[in-house]
Amino acid sequence: MTDKLRNIEIGKNTSLERGNLNSIDLHCDTLLRLHFAGENASLAKNEFHIDLQKLRAGGIDTQVFAVFVPPRVDSPLQLCLEMIDRFYCELDNNSKHISFAGNVQDIENNRRSGKISAMLALEDSGIIGSSLPNLRLLHRLGVRIVTLTWNNRNPAGSPNIDAESSAEGLTERGFEFVEEMIRLGMLVDVSHLSDTGFWDVSRTVSGPFIASHSNARSITNHHRNLTDDMIRSVAEHGGVIGVNFYGQFLTEGNPKEADIEDVLRHVNHLVNVGGIDCVALGSDFDGMDAPPIGLENSSRLPSLFEELEKAGYKHSEIEKISCNNAYRVIKEVCS
């Protein structure tokens, strides 16, 4: 297993140089918020959890924007395409500050230009009918991460919402879909996927896969979180788990009372079980009603790093959690 959490004397070579600490957030639902807010809303500045000013203030230089289509929409593929169009319109309107990234070369080019990188993900392959031709088209449109399911069954597999669905694995189409993602250079995302489906992915994918926005089930017994065996499997594949800030996945108490200490508990557990190299950030900003106290929006992200420093994490370890682990996986997989 990789590095474990160690007890470190605070104050010895642990101070954060915040200006040098870039962050990658593997999941947000800001595109959906922008879509429903209409043309008057802007990624430049808004009242959501994420806008360009908040990303800058939080040190997030790579943000993954998920395309999520709510259930019972008449034409999910049409709405998916409209949201991707909105993504590129926002990038065009703010081209001095943010630009598309499909791989680490793009991220590095954007960093040299002083721009935030915007990556594109699809949350729920069912939106495109788990279709291989549609998958290839979305890859050409810039999608590099696909969450296989959301909270409903689709042609690829089942979600983790109850015992029945959790026992259902990938379908034949699901296996084909995962294999095509691997061929295309796309990250397979197991957040929301059934337990049995998770293990199907683990056996099918030889390299890294991710849980873009999931936490530890041993800390908060929620079906959306990962068991310790799952955490170890992601780590053994060289993948990452993006820590989710949604209160329901952080605490078994009142989710609106979740705070930054609850986030820290999940980070500690993931590190202790899977090692420092498997932990990343997957905020789920703009996909929740009430972010944890202390992490109210993306501008507050440095507060988490301050708490990690107080807990004894070295600067190099915090860099792994904030950026380097996710960067490594994107470098290895995405093309």
Query: Is there a domain that residue 1 lies in?
Result: no
pLDDT score recorded for residue 21 = 63
Query: Is there a domain that residue 210 lies in?
Result: yes
pLDDT tens for residues 281-305? 999 999 999 899 999 999 999 999 9
CATH of the domain at 205: 3.20.20.140
Mean pLDDT, to the nearest integer, of 149-157? 97
pLDDT score recorded for residue 335 = 84
Q: Do residues 145 and 186 lie in contact, with contact meaning Cβ atoms separated by under 8 Å?
A: yes
Query: Is there a domain that residue 92 lies in?
Result: yes
Mean pLDDT, to the nearest integer, of 135-152? 98
Percent of the residues in the chain that have a pLDDT greater than 90, as a whole number: 93
Q: What is the DSSP letter of 110?
A: H
Q: Name the residue type at position 210.
A: I
Query: Is there a domain that residue 9 lies in?
Result: no
Please check the confidence at residue 184 and state whether its pLDDT lies above 90. Answer: yes
Please check the confidence at residue 41 and state whether its pLDDT lies above 80. Answer: yes
Q: Sign of the CA dihedral 108, 113, 114, 115?
A: negative
Please check the confidence at residue 20 and state whether its pLDDT lies above 70. Answer: no
Query: Is there a domain that residue 14 lies in?
Result: no
Query: Is there a domain that residue 327 lies in?
Result: yes
Query: Is there a domain that residue 38 lies in?
Result: yes
pTM, entire model: 0.93
Percent of the residues in the chain that have a pLDDT greater than 70, as a whole number: 94
Q: What average pLDDT does the chain have?
A: 93
275 exposed, middle or buried (CB, 10 Å; 0-12, 13-18, 19+)? buried
What is the total count of domains within the chain?
1
Please check the confidence at residue 17 and state whether its pLDDT lies above 80. Answer: no
Domain span including residue 210 = 22-333
Give the span between the Cα atoms of 150 and 127, in whole angstroms: 10
pLDDT score recorded for residue 165 = 95
Mean pLDDT, to the nearest integer, of 28-50? 97
Please check the confidence at residue 268 and state whether its pLDDT lies above 50. Answer: yes
